[in-house]
Amino acid sequence: MATFREMMDRLNDRLKQFNQNLRIADYSRSSMILSNGQIIAGKENQKIKNRLLSPYSSLWVENFDKLIAGEITESEIKHQFAKIRGQNCQKIHGEKIKSNLNTGVPWIKGKGHLFKGRTHSPETKAKISMKNSGPNNGFYGRQHSQEIKDAHSKYIKELILSGKFTPNSNNRNTHWETTFNGQKYRSSWEALYHYYHPQAKYEELRISYLWANESKVYVVDFIDHVSKLVIEVKPRELCHGEKFKAKWIALQQWAQANSYKALLVDKEWFMQNTVCPNLSLFDEKTARKIGQLYEAREKNRDSKTI
């Protein structure tokens, strides 16, 4: 029988295999803690484990991040299952279905248990939900101790610092929608920088720093081993506050200790060092934003020459 650690590794291997950002940070028979801090307990814990490890379909794994984030529902995934089953059914029984059309003989006649696994009615679902809600839920009223919370926080930081895990935190404007050559970025400017410097490694370098008397992990935007640069891509107007200052000092200290230079890439840097790229390599939304950036620069130049 697999240990809890072995089971957690199996689950995380499946998530990694299908390019999901979330990971299982802690696992036991009764609950699991996701890398975003969400706790899943009771029957839901067992259900998710079975779905992630199911050898029959990868749909649950492929949509895990979206399901947890609420971007897709269980019903929508089940609809995809039904669609696939319908297509497979057509391939296997297509000719028989056609031959029985309008004959009064159902093509499924004699096939027992055809509706095995059918979903419950809304009324039945409501009754089940009521039965398992509140005090009837096995995890009702239970809270993790501060010791467990601290251990979980430490474990996640170690994963981030080692490079084994990258947090699925979103840029408030892009929400991971920015892509260049099929890779996701947290902002259009990061994608644009990588366009011009493909040798730079994205989010490879992680640095510990202290802020508000607490140890944090700084995931640096880029490190360029060829040019010996560590790069933070950020609008100049966001480069303020004690947290940014702590991160920037830590980056400069790391750079100095390792014979690198720290570079802050902002709008002015792009305007002085680049021209409009091949926008077809970016997703539509990102291409539009980048195009507008360079259009504004040209308009500004034209106004100065008048």
SS (HEC) of 137-193:
CCCCCCCCCHHHHHHHHHHHHHHHHHCCCCCCCCCCCCCCCEEECCEEECCHHHHHH
Q: What is the pLDDT of residue 92?
A: 78
Q: What is the pLDDT of residue 138?
A: 62
Q: What is the pLDDT of residue 104?
A: 58
DSSP label at residue 67 = H
* Token pair recorded at residue 274: 């680049």
Residue 189: name the closest of 238, 146, 154, 149 by CA: 238
Taking the CB of residue 8, how many other CB atoms lie within 10 A of it?
Answer: 20
Sheet strand arrangement including 39-41: 24-27, 31-34, 39-41
**What is the rounded distance in angstroms from the CA atom of residue 242 to the CA atom of residue 89?**
61
3-state secondary structure of 27: strand
pLDDT, tens digit only, all 306 positions of the chain:
568 888 889 999 999 999 999 999 888 888 889 988 888 888 888 898 998 998 877 888 999 998 888 888 888 888 887 888 778 777 877 777 666 666 656 555 666 555 555 667 888 888 878 777 777 666 666 676 777 777 777 777 787 887 777 776 555 454 557 889 888 898 999 999 999 999 999 999 999 999 988 899 999 999 999 999 999 999 999 999 999 999 999 999 999 999 999 999 999 999 999 999 999 999 999 999 999 999 988 887 766 655
Burial of 36 per CB tally in 10 Å (0-12, 13-18, 19+): middle
Q: What is the pLDDT of residue 294?
A: 93
**What is the rounded distance in angstroms from the CA atom of residue 168 to the CA atom of residue 171?**
10
Tell me the CA end-to-end span of the chain in Å, nearest whole number.
78
Q: What is the pLDDT of residue 236?
A: 92
Q: Is the dihedral of CA 232, 234, 237, 239 positive or negative?
A: negative
* Token pair recorded at residue 255: 């750079």
Q: What is the pLDDT of residue 57?
A: 74
The answer to pTM > 0.85 is no
